[in-house]
Amino acid sequence: MSDEELAAYSLVELAVDRLRRDILSGRTDPGERLVEEQLTRRLGISRAPLREAMRLLAQQGLVEHIPRRGARVATLSDDDVRELYEVRDVLERHAITTMPATPDLTGLRAALDVMRKATETDDRLELANAHRRFHTEVVRLGGNRQLTELYESILVRIQLYMAVNMRREAETARAEDGVRRHEQLFAAVETGDAEAVRATLGRHGARTYLTKQTRTYLT
């Protein structure tokens, strides 16, 4: 790869990282237009790397292109969200059945530590990323790499939806509640008992949260 190609690729990575952070932190709302002129000025890049970045984000399900109207942050319908949660549940249940009796908890501990620190500093993006990493590490214990990658892609799209609701929930809920729920899940995984993990996931709150929050912004 030439120096020029490497520089262009770096600009694409920069744009992907910045826009992804804005979307997954809830700083940009679902359906919000992504105007090229504004983004090239803000990011300090030309249209070519920006458009490549938008294409990559569209592949991740975070950006959508509307004919004759340009790009916008992806939106999820009520059915989209419910279906994503259903796929997530299926993958989790399968991974749990293949989990070893004495799992390596290193990844889970690291994610939980980040979650605690992000809660203390009120870093919403880091907190949401830690939630996603924690659940991905649970599924990774099942030993199926392809399933884990698919699961993580589902969680990224769910995080698009969760970002806005986490921002609003922060106004009324105690920040420590999320940490406590994941500590309970960690304790269940530590036992190596698949039924205990499944039961704890059932009480984890995702479905209840979904029922209460789905209509707060979806159109």
Q: What predicted TM-score, i.e. pTM, was given to this entire model?
A: 0.78
CATH of domain 78-216: 1.20.120.530
**Span 144-196, pLDDT tens digits:** 999 999 999 999 888 887 766 655 555 555 667 889 999 999 999 999 888 99
For the chain, what are the domain ranges?
A: 3-73, 78-216
**Span 114-141, pLDDT tens digits:** 999 999 998 878 888 898 999 999 999 9
CATH for 3-73, among 1.20.1280.260, 3.40.50.300, 1.10.645.10, 1.10.10.10? 1.10.10.10
The DSSP bridge partners found for residue 65 are 71
Half-sphere exposure in the Cβ direction for 157 (13 Å, CA): 23
Nearest to 98 by CA among 195, 215, 194: 194
Phi, psi of 159 (to 5 degrees): -65, -30
The reply to whether domains 3-73 and 78-216 share a CATH topology is: no
